[in-house]
A and B are shown apart, each in its own frame.
Chain A
Amino acid sequence: MRALVIYCHPRQGSFTEAVRDVVLAKLNTVGAEVRLRDLYAEGFDPVLSGREHEIYEDEALNRDPVASHCADLAWCDTLIFVYPTWWYGLPAMIKGWLDRVLVPGLAFLMPDEANTDIRPGLTHIRRLGVFTTCGASFWLTRMIGAPGKRTLLRGLRLLCGRNCKTVFAAHYLMDSSTAESRAKHLRRVAAKMDRLVGKTPATRRAEAAA
């Protein structure tokens, strides 16, 4: 298993960091190879530039500005996002990671003479996990339509393998969270991770057969 963890939080010691650590511990337990990208720590620039937009559809060039991220995305079979939800959506940092890294030729294939619609390019991704925190309640988030969750679990999911497994967990009403509610959420994250990657190391053979 090759897991890419996209982590986004501006502050050290945040609850989101605790969620990330549960995710990493679970990946470690099953013996996954892990690449962790901490977007704030590495100072990722989320703004797609004019130049990048010009070469967006040029598949020979479009990975260059974010080559290492594109390589990670091409490498992984398990993709996990850990971030706080802001304005019901993804932080600009994560949205910009999608804008810049999900380029044609890698994430999806543009329509051509033979195909009238966009085709998925991330069919090698078999597991997608999304872990977040929301200031708003579950119901308000639902009412707004949970744009952040949908961008990843429906939008990005469309580009992944047909049998891609997904898990999602959010701690709602973060501003009135308690030590107890946070501990409970971390247990939920651990259980979701078990569902996503299993509880024990997969043998090479099982992995190869999957």
Chain B
Amino acid sequence: MKRALVLFAHPCPESFSAALHGQVVARLSAGGWAVDDCDLNAEGFDPVLSEAERRGYHEEPANIIPVAPYVERVRAADALVMVFPVWNFGYPAILKGFLDRVFLPGVSFRLEDGKVKPNLTQIRKLAAVTTYGGSRTRALLVGDPPRKCVTRAVWHVCRPEKMKYLALYDMNRADEAKRAAFLDKVGREMEVF
């Protein structure tokens, strides 16, 4: 069975993000994926790269020791689905810290002649499910950093065959119907992922 790693980053179980997370996990499972559900807040993930980790950043393979279980989960994944709210034009810190600490040299990329080579190419499918408080125009004005983080930075180390960036903009003013429609759409996309 193909494995999908779901990275979820929202502290509140009653949030709309949590509803999206539930939907993603349920519909991926329904679509035949073995889901590894990683709720970063619930697992108490520490996003702060420490001084020792910074010093040993390039020391392969010892650099993975502080986060070895997470590295294993990333390496075992055939698909990666990130579920998060956009806060201040970016990932929540807890998700950004996952990249800082777990996407290490030798894990997500190799340095060859000083160039970054992708090293998570077993991840064939990549998706993000996210919500923005502000409008699409507002995000575009800023250059939509979270979209670029997923579709360029993470994409760059996986080189997946399939990528989906599912976003609901303008959450501050979205009504029930809009949210329900987005939840539905996410479900459909995940089931055929």
- Interface residues contributed by chain A, number (CB under 8 Å): 48
Q: When chains A and B are docked, how far (Å) is the Cα of A50 from the Cα of B149?
A: 25
Interface residue? B142 (CB, 8 A)? yes
The chain A residue sitting closest to B49, CB to CB, is A10
- Please state if A144 and B153 are interface contacts (CB–CB under 8 Å): yes
- Please state if A95 and B153 are interface contacts (CB–CB under 8 Å): no
Enumerate B93-108 residues with CB–CB distance to A below 8 Å.
93-94, 96-97, 99-100, 103
Task: Find chain B residues with CB under 8 A from A49 CB.
Answer: 11
- Please state if A117 and B93 are interface contacts (CB–CB under 8 Å): no
Interface residue? A54 (CB, 8 A)? yes
| Distance in Å: Cβ of A13 to nearest Cβ of chain B | 11
Q: When chains A and B are docked, how far (Å) is the Cα of A102 from the Cα of B92?
A: 13
Interface residue? B122 (CB, 8 A)? no
Which of B50, B153, B172 makes the CB contact (< 8 A) with A88? Answer: B153
List, sorted by A's number, 10 A–B pairs whose CB atoms are closer than 8 Å: A52-B11, A89-B145, A95-B96, A99-B93, A118-B138, A144-B156, A147-B148, A150-B145, A151-B88, A173-B114
- Please state if B91 and A158 are interface contacts (CB–CB under 8 Å): no
Enumerate chain A interface residues (CB-CB to B < 8 A): 9-12, 40, 46-50, 52-54, 86-93, 95-96, 98-99, 102, 110-111, 116-118, 136, 140, 143-148, 150-151, 154-156, 158, 173, 175-176
| Distance in Å: Cβ of B113 to nearest Cβ of chain A | 10
- Evaluate whether A87 and B172 lie within 8 angstroms (CB atoms) in the complex, with A10-B54, A95-B91, A144-B148 already known: no
Task: Find chain B residues with CB under 8 A from A10 CB.
Answer: 48-51, 53-54
Most B Cβ at <10 Å: residue of A143, A147, A148: A147
Enumerate chain B interface residues (CB-CB to A < 8 A): 10-13, 15, 41, 47-51, 53-55, 87-94, 96-97, 99-100, 103, 111, 114, 116, 133-135, 138, 141-146, 148-149, 152-153, 156, 172-173
Which of A91, A99, A116, A118 makes the CB contact (< 8 A) with B49? Answer: A91
Most A Cβ at <10 Å: residue of B41, B92, B144: B92
Q: A10-B48, A89-B90, A145-B152 are in contact. List 4 more A-B contacts (CB 8 A).
A: A48-B93, A53-B12, A93-B48, A150-B142
Task: Find chain B residues with CB under 8 A from A102 CB.
Answer: 88
Which of B53, B55, B97, B114 makes the CB contact (< 8 A) with A175? Answer: B114
The chain B residue sitting closest to A92, CB to CB, is B97
Task: Find chain B residues with CB under 8 A from A140 CB.
Answer: 116
